[in-house]
Amino acid sequence: MSTHPLDPLTAQEITQATKIVRRDLDLGKRLFFEQIRLNEPNKQLVRGFTSGDMIEREAFVVAWNRDSGELFEITVSIDKDQLSSSTLIPGVQAGYLPEESDEVSRVVKAHPDFVVGLNKRGIDNLDQVYVEGLAVANFATEKERHLRLSRAHCFFIQHPSDNTHAKPIEGLIPIIDLNTMKVLRIEDSGVVPIPANRGVYQSKELGVQRKPLAELEILQPDGPDFVVDGHEVCWQNWRFRVGFTPREGLVLHTLSFNDEGSERSVIYRASLSELVVPYGDTAGDHFTNHSFDLGDGIFGRSVNSLTLGCDCLGEIHYFDVVLNDGYGNPVNKPNAICLHEEDYGILWKHTNTSTNKTEVRRSRRLVVSSFFTVGNYDYGIFWYLYLDGNIEFEAKLTGMLYSRALGLDEINSGRPPEYGSLVSPDLVGMMHEHYFNVRLDMSVDGDRNAVVEVEAKRVPMGPDNPHGNAHGVVETVLESEKDAGRDAKPENARYWKVINREAKNKLGWYPGYKLMPGPTIKPMHQPNSPFMRRAGFVNHDLWVTAFDANQLMAPGHYVNQNEFGPGIPEWVVEDRPLADTDVVLWHTMGVMHLPRPEDFPVMPVEYVGFMLKPVGFFDQNPALNLSPSKCKIALSKKGLDGQKRE
C-alpha cells in the first residue's frame, strides 16, 4: 500500500496496469502505451488523508492501437486488479514515442530513394547519417490526414564526436506512416551544400582549454535544512510533495507555509503545461517546424539522470522516477529530480546610523529541478522556494541550435539570411521562439479564491494633484473566463493577485499571492497561421479558468496533428464564473531567439520565468524571526599579487 494518495506509480503498479489492459482489452499485438501515470484522486480525499488510511490506487493509461489507429483512455484499479473504464477518443493521434525513433531510422535508411538522395549529396555511408523523426504538425495532406505521420530531418555525422545538428542534410525529407512503419515517399527539393563546421564542443576534442576554475565547495556540516519523507519535503516553513508524470515531467503538489503554527495552503498543484517552439524561417520545409514538446512528444520521458557537482552542487537529495516505455514496461530514471539549498545573498538588512549597529539576514532558497533533453535542446525546469514566502519558476534553455544549411542562392547573392543569422560560415541559426505555459492550481488559504488585476493609476495634474506626483493603483476583479485572458503591461507595473475574500489579516488585507510576470513577447506568427490555429493559448500572458481536473494541458491533451484545440481558448467559451471559487492560473512566457555566433556550437543558458509573492498573506515580514547568520571572516591565501599570505 502506498503511503500517500499522490505518490507516483511504482514499477510494480505500472507492470500490473499494463497486464490488466492487455488481459482485459483486445487492442492488438502492436499496442503502444503513450503514458501510464497515477490517476490522481480528488482534492477532498487528498486533504482528508491521514497516515495509515486505506486508499484506492488507480492508473490512468493512454493506449494506442497501431493496427486500427485508435486511441483509448483507460482507468485501471490497481487494488481490485480490474479495469475501471475504457473510452475511445476519436479523431486524435498519440504523441511520437521514443521507441519509434529507431524504427524510423531503420526504415528510412533502407528506402532506395533515400539512398539515391544521399548519393547525390556525396554521402555513401549510412552509419554517418542521423535521422530525426519530427511531428508533421497540421501540414498533412488531405489524403494523409487520417494517418499518424512523421517527417524526418537528417544530419551528416562526419565523426562520432560531432555535434549531431551541425551538418543538416537540407532538402531530403522522408515522410513515414508510423502505424505501419513504412516510408510513404522521399521528398527531394535539391542539393544544398552540407556545412563544413563539425560543431565540436566536447572537451576532449577542443584541444587547448582554460585552466580549471578554482575548486568551490558547498559544505553543510550539520546537514541540509530540508527533511524528506517519501515524496514529501519540509524545509523551513514550507511543506509540499514532489511528483512526476510522463507528459508534464516535474510536478509540485500541496504547497503550504507554516505561519506561526498554522499550516496555510498556497498552491494545490503546479506544473509545466506546454512548451512549444515555432520557427520563423520560410526556407525548405522549415515553415512546418513548431514542436509541442509536451504534446507532440512525451516530455517527461526525456528527463536526464543528474550528476552531483555538475547539474547540482551541494548537499543533494535525489528523487528517482519510474516511467513506462512504449510497451508498458517500467523504466527507472535514477536521480531525475534534484533537491538542494542555495545561498542567495542578502534577504534583508538595515544599519541604524544612530547606533551604528547592523542587522542582516542572508537569503537561502530551496531548489527543486529536473533537466530534459528534447532533440537538440536541453531544458532545465526549476522551482525555487524562499524564506520570505516567495515562489519562483525558472526555465533554463541550453543545448544545440536547430539550424539549416545556407542555400546556394544565398551563397551566390552574398546577402545575409532574411529570417535567421549566420552562426558558422555556411550554417543558419533560424529565427524562433520558445513559449512556456505553466499551470497553477491555486489554493490561497483554501480553494475559494478570486483573481484581481492590479496596475498603476496615474492622476492628471489638477486640484487633486497640484504637483503632479499622485499615483496609485487600480484593482479589477476578474469575474468570468471570457474576461480573464490578460496581458502583461510593464509600463503600468501590471500584475495579478489571487486572494481569499473569506479571511483577512490583522491589517484588514485579504490574504493573497501575486503573480509577477517576467519579460515576455507576443506571438510572432500571424493570427490565422497554422501555428496559431494550434497554439491559441499563446495569445495571452495569463488565462484564468475554473478548476477542472481534466484540463491539464494548455493546448489540450492530444496535440499531435490536430488543427484546432481543444485547449484554453475553447474552454473559456463556457465562461464559467471565477469569483470566490476554485481557480487555475495559466501563465505563458515567451522568448524570441535570433541566434548569435555565441550560441554555436552549444548555447549558453537563457533564462525565462516568473515570481509568486505573498501580498497580505502575512501580517509582517515572515522572515523577521530568522536567526542571525554566523559571521565568518575568510582570508584569501593569496594577495592581489598572487603571493601567498601567512
Short-list 139, 173, 203, 267, CA closest to 583:
267
| pLDDT given at position 2 | 56
8: pLDDT strictly greater than 80: yes
Cell numbers found for residue 281: 524561417
- Could you read off the pLDDT of 540-575 as tens digits, one per residue? 999 999 999 999 999 999 999 998 878 999 999 999
- DSSP designation for 343: E
Backbone angles phi, psi at 548, to 5 degrees: -145, 120
Confidence of residue 156 (pLDDT cuts 50, 70, 90): very high
| The one catalytic residue among 259, 293, 441, 582 | 293
Q: Is 293 a catalytic residue?
A: yes
Cα distance between residue 575 and residue 418, in whole Å: 42
Residue 232 neighbours by CB distance under 10 Å: 17
Cα distance between residue 159 and residue 164, in whole Å: 10
As a whole number of Å, the CA-based R_g of the chain is 27
Give the number of C-alpha atoms closer than 13 A to the C-alpha of residue 2, restricted to the C-beta side. 21
Spatial contact of 144 and 565, defined as CB atoms under 8 Å apart: no
- Could you read off the pLDDT of 474-490 as tens digits, one per residue? 999 999 999 999 999 99
Confidence of residue 632 (pLDDT cuts 50, 70, 90): low
Domain boundaries in the chain? 11-89, 99-206, 227-443+523-538+582-614
337: pLDDT strictly greater than 60: yes
Mean pLDDT computed over 211-223 = 88
- DSSP designation for 21: H
Of 256-265, 524-533, 622-631, the range with the lowest mean pLDDT is: 622-631
227-443+523-538+582-614 belongs to CATH 2.70.98.20: yes
Question: Where do runs of H (alpha helix) occur along 385-469?
Answer: 408-413
Mean pLDDT computed over 34-60 = 95
Short-list 101, 90, 76, CA closest to 23:
76
- DSSP designation for 637: S
Backbone angles phi, psi at 572, to 5 degrees: -75, -15
Q: Helix count (H) and strand count (E) of the chain?
A: 8, 31
Short-list 529, 530, 282, 291, CA closest to 430:
282
637: pLDDT strictly greater than 60: no
Cα distance between residue 340 and residue 290, in whole Å: 34
35: pLDDT strictly greater than 50: yes
| pLDDT given at position 416 | 87
Written in H, E and C, the secondary structure of 536-557 is HHHHCCEEEEECCCCCCCCCCC
CA distances in angstroms from 279 to 212, 428, 434, 482, 515, listed in the order given: 37, 12, 9, 29, 29
- DSSP designation for 261: T
- Give the sheet arrangement for strand 403-405, strand by strand: 403-405, 427-430, 420-424
Mean pLDDT computed over 250-261 = 97
| pLDDT given at position 216 | 85
646: pLDDT strictly greater than 50: no
> What does the buried/exposed string (b/e) look like for 1-16 if buried means 16 or more CB atoms within 10 Å of the residue's CB?
ebebbbbbbeeebbbb
Short-list 613, 627, 499, 512, CA closest to 236:
627
Label the pairing between strands 391-399 and 403-405.
unpaired
Confidence of residue 639 (pLDDT cuts 50, 70, 90): very low
Spatial contact of 63 and 83, defined as CB atoms under 8 Å apart: no
In angstroms, the first-to-last Cα distance of the chain is 61
Q: Across the chain, what does the average pLDDT equal?
A: 94
20: pLDDT strictly greater than 80: yes
3-class state of residue 45 by DSSP: helix
Could you list the beta-strand ranges (E) of 160-316. Answer: 172-177, 182-188, 227-229, 232-235, 238-245, 249-259, 262-278, 290-292
Cα distance between residue 394 and residue 516, in whole Å: 13
Q: Which CATH class is domain 11-89?
A: alpha beta
CA distances in angstroms from 26 to 13, 31, 84, 254, 422, listed in the order given: 21, 9, 16, 38, 53
Comparison of pLDDT for 216 and 284, the residue scoring more: 284
Of 2-16, 403-417, 588-602, the range with the lowest mean pLDDT is: 403-417
640: pLDDT strictly greater than 60: no
Short-list 154, 427, 412, 399, CA closest to 281:
427
- Could you read off the pLDDT of 169-196 as tens digits, one per residue? 999 999 999 999 999 999 999 999 999 9
Could you list the beta-strand ranges (E) of 459-582. Answer: 471-477, 485-486, 495-499, 512-517, 542-546
589: pLDDT strictly greater than 90: yes
Short-list 559, 534, 546, 550, CA closest to 73:
550
Considering the segment(s) 99-206 as one domain, its CATH architecture is Roll (3.10)
Cα distance between residue 606 and residue 608, in whole Å: 7
| The one catalytic residue among 130, 268, 279, 377 | 377
* CA angle, residues 20, 21, 25, in degrees to nearest 5: 115
Cα distance between residue 527 and residue 267, in whole Å: 33
- DSSP bridge partners of 172: 188
Q: Is 487 a catalytic residue?
A: no
Residue 642 neighbours by CB distance under 10 Å: 6
Confidence of residue 316 (pLDDT cuts 50, 70, 90): very high
- DSSP bridge partners of 185: 175
238: pLDDT strictly greater than 80: yes
Long-range Cβ pairs for the range 489-494 (8 Å, 24+): 489/455, 492/455, 492/456, 493/455, 493/456, 494/453, 494/454, 494/455, 494/456
> What does the CA dihedral 244, 249, 252, 253 come to, rounded to 10 degrees?
-50
In the block, cell 491559441 appears at 536
Cα distance between residue 258 and residue 8, in whole Å: 25
Long-range Cβ pairs for the range 187-192 (8 Å, 24+): 187/285, 188/113, 188/117, 188/120, 189/284, 189/285, 191/120, 191/121, 192/405, 192/406, 192/407, 192/408
Q: Are 11-89 and 99-206 the same fold in CATH?
A: yes
243: pLDDT strictly greater than 50: yes
| pLDDT given at position 253 | 98
What single string gives the DSSP state of each residue in 72-114? EEEEEETTTTEEEEEEEETT--PPPPTHHHHHHHHHHHT-HHH
582: pLDDT strictly greater than 50: yes
- Could you read off the pLDDT of 54-95 as tens digits, one per residue? 999 999 999 999 999 999 999 999 999 999 999 999 999 999
Largest interatomic CA distance in the chain: 86
- DSSP bridge partners of 453: 476, 496
